[in-house]
Chains A and B, each alone.
Chain A
């Protein structure tokens, strides 16, 4: 049969050893005369890489080979280098001219001749600080905007053109390719930015800025620039839509988040360490705010300011690793999730650690009785964990393994191999269960932090909210799976997911809103009733604004409040009623709107059932589709 061909005697197994020796030709009929150079080459060890096994790690291929692809012609490189140097000198010269040096007649006359102005700085120190600011701003523009943009453009263009496939044939890991591709295009700019930062730091130190603050600021800037390149790498491997335009937009969105979102924590002393994650905000914190705004920002993590650089380094390092790893995975197999589950779990763990670090930060407040309250850190921590955790969960949710093409392939192989299939109800639920586990872990952390923030606080409302949100995340994952099994088009998938997820969210949010509305109305009516009972027999004409609200123009109750009105004979009856319901919006809602209160959970259960039924139907259709394709083949 075709699969059993005769085996060459020189290689009986056809497999030989992993590092094969030169072999004899199969049919050595009249071999051509070897040219001398070729003969020499044939004797040489062919490939350096062949000598050492698996020497393709990050250290060896840290993008270096790819720099040649983007190298400028020598003349252009020389011109650019000297132009850059000239700009640096010009900026330095300009600042020198503006220095308040009066005993140099040459400087004064030059200043008047060129700038038609006097000195602009109060002291030489200020001049040097401004010089650093100028250098830093230029370095930030080059490193944070232009260089990552070049990286996106280069990687996307190579993917569109297909030249990246040739690189993938080389003995390089996808991670090495991504690393090379994100740093190669802007390497000249990055070197220039590094020089500017170094010169700026030197000027800053000469201008009496503190060395440790310079170091932390430089660390934040360098880490930030690196992270933005990581974002550029991931964005350019995620999509090629609109000939790379979508990747560019995605990059701007990601870069916007990473540069502006941390700044929102700047005014919150307990969380201000997060602001260090933005390369644009590090100089603000250390240089500009104290000088311009007179604002001293003292950041701590785990209660120690020394740990802030550690936080920056570890967080940015982890984020960069995750981004590059995700980009490499997407480059290798686009249908695969960007990150494996252990790495999502690692990200969640780091988020919890960061939150705990924020919780350990504290503001010491002396209570009226004199005791020191030391718990506000946890208050900030649980809020931070809620926001960042939601973002993490949404990203993990979207990074699902359900691609219609992959599922069809799996089904084909299953049917062909006659392999047993997991039961329909459990099939594909691992992702939803993983999301649920992440959500539960984060919810538990949030609850614990909330408890630590204020002992004695009633946790029940928060527990209820978190339970509902956790279930919602699980349902979103199931919906995403069901939609992905059914539709191939990304747009239709998105539209359907939004529609169904919207229905589910409405089924949770709407009763909550109605419950709170009912509770508010009940409270108002109760106050009115209490007022009436307490002022029974008295001549009282004054009514509050709220009471006027519940009464219509003819003095009768408004329709909205009518259901909650219950005329009590005695104040005692009223007190008993109030005591029963005053702390429980759910009880009020149940008492007055039993139909609605019952219908929303029923609708939720019904919708859940419909989603699971639809999901099972989609899987069945998928199987039928495969069976049809296999039988026709």
Chain B
């Protein structure tokens, strides 16, 4: 349990390596919201097994395989602890979808890739969504006390 931050660091390095390879080989920013958005525009265009689809396939399958592995004496386990309130899930999903599309990026695009490029837009976007997230969690936890 005490070593949780090490798994965070290892995980982060892997995410960064993925983003670095993506940039060095494809010449594009690896942003999950952008890739999902591409996936939506591609559907119906008969882009069978496109790069976008295969990337999403890997993103889905790697955790699926790892979820079958027992990481003994670590806190790594396949649980999302996602709220059971369907209305909250739908509202949150819509806000994340609309927000990331409008802002042109999410935690991976603006947060990881943009910050490391020292892009002012990305740094600003990250500060704003982190502050909005802190505000939301604080209201839910300390004021409404529902999570």
Q: Please determine whether chains A and B interact with each other in the same assembly.
A: no
| Chain A residues with a Cβ under 8 A of chain B | none
